[in-house]
Amino acid sequence: MKGFRDFLNQGNVVQLAVAFVIGGAFGAVVTALVVDIVNPVIAIPFGKPNFDNLVLTINGSNIKYGTFLTAVIAFLLIAAGVYFFFVVPYNRLQARIRSAQPAESNTRACPECLSMIPKAARRCSACTAAVEPQAA
């Protein structure tokens, strides 16, 4: 039981649960946007307030392309919302964090005299001590 409790208290599980709840709430908001605002605006040329009523009948078979169209619009709006409300701000934050961090130096201290030498150097230019080169 202790292992299960430790598993539930890990940050990843809590973050996943929060993301799932927020995703569900965001999906409900986008669904309401599609059903209550976008569908009536886009359906104006068709004269129908809802795409779900759009049906094509061929040889007695009903093809409900309106429902598919509604799902496609909802998907595109959810994808756009996730991109503009989560991905873009996250990328900007990460870029700001990266720019605040100091750039990686290509130099290191000589182990003998502590003067700064290139990482790829095999000999110190100040004390001429032999040093092992490091990957740049």
DSSP state of 102: P
Structure-token pair, residue 40: 């009536």
Shared domain check, 123 and 80: no
pTM over cut 0.95: no
Report the pLDDT value the prediction gives residue 86, as an integer from 0 to 100: 81
What is the span of the domain harbouring residue 124?
106-136
Give me the phi and psi of 43, to 5 degrees please: -80, 0
134 phi and psi angles, rounded to 5 deg: -115, 155
Q: Which pLDDT does position 87 carry in this prediction?
A: 86
Chain segment 8-51, per-residue pLDDT in tens? 677 677 778 888 898 888 888 877 877 788 777 776 776 666 67
Q: Cα–Cα distance between 67 and 54 in angstroms, integer? A: 8
Q: What is the mean pLDDT of residues 78-104?
A: 83
Total number of domains in the chain: 2
In the predicted structure, residue 99 carries a pLDDT above the cut 60: yes
Question: Does 84 share its domain with 121?
Answer: no
Q: Mark whether 16 and 59 lie in a shared domain.
A: yes
Q: Which two tokens stand for residue 125?
A: 């230019």
List pLDDT tens digits, range 63-84: 988 888 878 877 887 788 778 8
